[in-house]
Structure formats: C-alpha cells, structure tokens
Chain A
Amino acid sequence: MNAPVDESYSQRLARRFSRDALALTGFWLIILAFVLAALAPFLANNHAIVRVADGQISFPVLRSLEPIEWRFLINVPLAGLIYALRRPLFRNPQRGGLIVAVVVIVVQIALAFVQPYNDVTNDRTRPATFKLMPLIAWSPLESSPDALVGPSWNHLCGTDSTGRDVAARILHGARTSLAIGFVSQVIALGVGVTFGALAGYYRRWVDMVICRFIEVMECFPSLLLILVIIGLSDSQNNMIVIMAVIGLTGWTGTARLVRGEFLRLGGQSFPQAAQALGAGDLRVILRHLLPNSLGPILVTATFGVASAILLESSLSFLGFGMQAPTPSWGDLISEGRRFIDFAWWLVFFPGVVMLVTIMSYNFVGEGLRDAVDPRLQVK
C-alpha cells in the first residue's frame, strides 16, 4: 500500500476513517449538532441579537443567557484558546502555568457574579429602529396563541398544543439529548475502563470477581433496570439521575473490551519492559496499556452515545423521562404522539433530528471500527 511509513496511530486512524464517506458525514453532523446546541440562544430566541432603539445599541440576547450558559460559552472557547496556544505558552512551563492559572481564576470569579436576568420583554413585538432577530424568533418556552399550527415561515416546524415553537424546542432540546448521550457514556466509560483495567491487569481473583460482576450486570436488561431504579427512587425527572443510571448500566461492553485488550497486551513484552524500568502499576496501565486499547474503547463509546439517546427517548415515552424546562427530543416526540394523526410535525421534526443524530453516531462508530480493526483491512 502507498501509506506513509512514519504516520502515527491516530493519523492512520484518521486516514482510514476519512475514506468512509458515511462516517465522515456523520462526524461533521455531530459537530454541527453540538455547535447548534451551544449556540441555541442565539438561534432561537425572542430577544434580538442586536437592537437599536432611541439612539442606543443593545444586545438583548445576552440578557437572556443563564449563568450556566455564560460559563459554557466563555469556558469552552477559553479552553480551546489555551490549547491552541499551548506551545508558545508553555515554552516556559512556570510562566505559562502562572498565566493560565491567573486567567482561568479571574474568568471564573467574573463568571460567579453573573446573575440570571429574568427578562420577559419580547423583541419580536417591541418596536425598534433596527433589530436583528435570531433565525427563529421564538423562545422554547414561549406560548403563542396559535396552537397546533403546521409548519410556516413564522413557525418553521409548526407549534405544539400550547402554541410553543417546535423548531425552537428542538434546538434547545438538543442540549438535553446530546448531554445525556455524552455524559452517560463518559460515566459508562469511566466505570468500564476502571473495572476492565483492574480485571485485565491484576487477573487471578480480581479478574474472576469482576467477570462475574460483568455477567451479572449483563443479565439485567438495561431498560428494565433503569425503569426500576428511576421508578422506585423519589428523585424522578432528574437529568443527572437519568444520565447516571444509563451510564451505570451500560459499562459492561467497555469493561469486557478493556479487559480483553489488557490480557492480550499483557502477554506482549512492552508492559514488562516498562515495569522493569521501574514504572508503577498505575503508570503502566495509564501510559502503556490504555493508549493501546483506545481505538476499540472509542468505538464502543460512540455506539453507546447512540443507544443512550435512544434509551432516554424510550424512558420519555414510558413517562419516566425528565420534566426539564427544555425537554429532550425524546420528550418532544412522546409529547407529540397524542396528536400524531393530525399534527404530524410534532413527531416528524424532532424524530428526524434525533434519527439523524443517532445514525451519525452509529456511522461514526462503524467507520471507527473499520479503521481500528486490522483484521478488516483490505490486504
């Protein structure tokens, strides 16, 4: 093959992955979904982005942001900036560390003073000399007198039974759905990698016990287990609980995988070589064994996100979803199903968005698997 000889593992993965058109499309769609979700207040809001009135210019949209949104919108680009500037910054590690620490602390203190500004003014109807409204000029919780109206220029995806704009709700609901998929898999990954690494590294009785535990967990259907936990607990409708429960029931695949990889790699000589050089257990696990299993772990996690979003929608349908102010896509669909025979848009639009997202994750997972699995490579 005409592959560059000196490419790294991740470069090789990227090259193989990008040959897969479906996977690549899925990857960019997921990125797009995250960007849209992050920018939801700027895309669907009844506050104008820019407003000129009485000779004054103002940015009403900023007043609609919650403190947590401020934190997110400031901290994520900040982290990106620090990462982008890591080379010049850390040329002198002490000075770089100090600068980063000071900037981060100052920003966090400033953010702590942000107060929720409960602004109920509606720029859509408020007169102004000039105003730039978001693409969707409705807030997700705002009711209009037009209930159950089909898609139009005013309401791109129609309105629901209390006149709320479906497009705005989908956009804001993306945050809930994407967060559930992402956070629950981070939890699952953490638990799975820990158990898998312990079993695969220490073997013997540790392995024995953990394997039995994995098997026990795999005997319970996730949906049943989640329903029982949420149904019997009093902390229903809590996003954190749902994320945690989905994560805590979905880690066994990762654990099996990490265990298998560790057992396989443990037989090779380089962990021993590292140990011989005096590396501790944790160091061998983190620096030598885990990076080698990263590819397959990523694959299971990606598929896991897809199934977590699906699982959450099933919970919503069964009435055990969260009643957050901005509902997940699953909530939107199950809310809309009562009107399905005459208000198709209530199920159709959130359904399509969820479908595309889940498929994107699945195709990314599939593309990653093909890229990771050496047995499946064309010779």
Chain B
Amino acid sequence: MSAPLLRVENLGIEFGPADAPVKAVDGVSFAMAAGETLAVVGESGSGKSVTALALTRLLATPPARYVSGAIQFQGREVMTMPAPELRALRGKQIAYIFQEPSSSLNPVFTIGYQIREAIEQHRPEVRDVRGEIVRALDLVGIRDAATRLGDYPHQLSGGMQQRVMIAMALACQPNLLVADEPTTALDVTIQKQIMDLLRELKSKTNMAILLITHNFGLVSDFADRVVVMFRGKIVESGPTAEVLRHPQHPYTRALIECVPKLGQKQRRLKVIDYAGIN
C-alpha cells in the first residue's frame, strides 16, 4: 500500500480536570487512502466527533487536551504544525461539514460571502471569484445560484443550508471531506437527498470522505470501510460489508440492530443493553 492520505496513530484526547480526566478519545489509530470513504460509527459521546475535529486541531484547548498520538496528513505531522501551515491545511486540504447547518453558518453574512471567504483564503489565483461561488453552488444542486448568493442563511431551509455548507467545503477542492453527522439534524427525506448528493460528489471528484455517524443505515451502501467507536476506543474495523455481515463486537451488533429495517415489523425499538457489552 502506498503512503496513506491520512494516518492517525494512538490518538488520545482528554477533557475535564487534570486529576480526574475524562478520556474522550483513547488510543485511536486508523488510516485512509486517497479517494477512500471511511465511516466512523458510534453513539454520541463515543469520541467520534472529537476525533474528527482533532484531525485539524479544531478542538479548543482548553477544555480539550491532546495527550498522545500523531496525525499525519500526506506525510506531514498535524500535531506539531505551526499555525499558518495549519490554516493552509484547514479548508484547503481537509474541509468539514457539520451536524447543524443552521448554527454552522454565520447568520449575519450572506452565503455568497461565506463561500467567498474560503476561496479567497485558499485560492488567491482565482480571478472570477463570483463565478467560482456560483459553480460551487451549482455543484451541490442549488438552482438559481447566481440569485441566491445574496441570501442570508436563515432564508434557506435546513437542507439548502447543508448544501451551502457542502458547497463551501468543496469550493477549495479538498482532498478529504470530513462530514460530521451531516444529516442528523435534517428531515428524513432531506437526509436522503444530502446522502445522494455526497455519493454523487464522491463519484465526480476523487475526494476522500470521512463520514461520522451514529446510524449504520447510512453506512452500508456509502462507505468502503467502517470503524466502530465505543467509549473513546475503536472496538471494530473492517470493510463495510464484512462488518455488517459478521460483526465481531457485541456493541457493533447492538448498533446494527438499532437500524429499523423496511418491511420488517418491529414490536419495540431496540435499546442497547450495555450490561452485555465490555
């Protein structure tokens, strides 16, 4: 295997007081190849979002503390990277979309301006910035992109806002897109649209995608590989189909069973039985 796009080694992140730390991420290691789609699955509090934010050191310190580990992106160490280089990495190489599009967009700037900021930051060579913004909005399926430029986030629906977030992320053609629970805050039908859009973008570009989710249902036909996190640790990983078919860890089995299947009558919602895990 050639040098991976991203390699995370023994990552450890703590919160809280130093004498009684809460280990949010505890010895996590994984790697991603260019163009690969990896899903990190786990329930809230399992450390998956913290891991995602740590990739470009986006966690505020304090309260967070990076206690161990190395993060290498294209062979460069992120953990010790000086601030200017880190800024060049953020947005340009690794772009993010977040869970709550309505609060992730700044309410007092137009969407056009917010995309423009990203382009001006990382692609100073672009002369027709406006055209570039329109192209980005077109790409994520926003119609009349040229007229929506001047809209403020609150004038758009949740699904549209998330599309704007994606457009902003794609505007600088990153090598890795981190999608942190991109559909959790959205309606079910919109969820599907956004996932379809991500799938379409994946096939159009050669961008790697790190999908953070608690929903195994999204993973099955999207990700190449799956990493399952539980209480800050990786408990299982492997090709998606394999993990889905033969889950090794009881927690993984429980998560998979939580996904309601169509056409299957379910008497009650599954609840994870923690006593059986560990």
Contacts and interface: CB of A to CB of B under 8 A. Distances in A.
B238 interface: no
Interface in A334-379: 378-379
Interface of B: 16-17, 20, 63
A1 B20 CA distance: 9
Interface string A276-297: 0000000000000000000000
Interface of A: 1-2, 378-379
Nearest to A379: B63
B63 A378 contact: yes
B204 to A, nearest CB: 38
A378 B16 CA distance: 11
A378 B64 CA distance: 12
A2 B63 contact: no
6 contacts: A1-B16, A2-B16, A2-B17, A2-B20, A378-B63, A379-B63
- Which 5 pairs show the lowest CB-CB distances between chains A and B? A2-B20, A2-B17, A379-B63, A1-B16, A2-B16
Contacts of A378: 63
A379 B15 CA distance: 10
Contacts of B17: 2
Nearest to A378: B63
A170 to B, nearest CB: 45
A379 B17 CA distance: 12
A14 to B, nearest CB: 20
A379 B20 CA distance: 16
Nearest to A2: B20
A334 to B, nearest CB: 48
Nearest to B60: A379
Contacts of B16: 1-2
Contacts of A1: 16
A206 B187 CA distance: 39
A19 B17 CA distance: 15
Contacts of B63: 378-379
B173 to A, nearest CB: 34
A20 B63 CA distance: 19
B133 to A, nearest CB: 34
A19 to B, nearest CB: 13
A113 B128 CA distance: 94
A2 B16 CA distance: 8
A3 B61 CA distance: 21
Contacts of B20: 2
B151 to A, nearest CB: 28
B23 to A, nearest CB: 14
A2 B63 CA distance: 14
A155 B17 CA distance: 52
A124 to B, nearest CB: 58
A1 B63 CA distance: 11
B34 to A, nearest CB: 35
B60 to A, nearest CB: 9
